[in-house]
Amino acid sequence: IFAALFNVPLLLGPLLPIVLLGTLGIAAVGTLFSAMAAATRARELLLPILVFPLIVPIVIAAVRATGTLMVPVSNEPPWLGLMVAFDVIFLSISMLTFQYIVEE
């Protein structure tokens, strides 16, 4: 829908890293906390409460980075760096703690 409405090629150019990093960050957080919530009785209620506040930074960074692509601003902070840091942190935490989360 995004590509059709704004006439932006998703798989080419500078938008591809934003899409990939945003998707990876949301998937990393969602996978980690869905594994935690799966063992609880109120998992349908607990998962959105845990995940939504944690994905706000990656969503904001993706929106701002996409906005910078559409309208270049010279003093805009490096949003891709924030997205990479977010992904590295949550992927590392996921890999280190996943076996302990699944055991319990």
pLDDT confidence tier of residue 68, bands split at 50, 70 and 90: confident
Q: How many CB atoms lie within 10 A of CB 87?
A: 21
pLDDT band at 2 (very low <50, low <70, confident <90, very high): low
Determine the pLDDT at residue 54.
95
pTM of the model: 0.83
Residue-wise pLDDT for 20-49, tens only, equals 999 999 999 999 999 888 888 888 888 899
User: At residue 50, does pLDDT exceed 80?
Assistant: yes
- pLDDT band per the 50, 70, 90 thresholds, residue 104: low
- Is the distance from CB of 97 to CB of 29 less than 8 angstroms? no
Q: How do the domains of the chain map onto residue ranges? A: 21-103
Distance from C-alpha of 93 to C-alpha of 83, rounded to nearest angstrom: 15
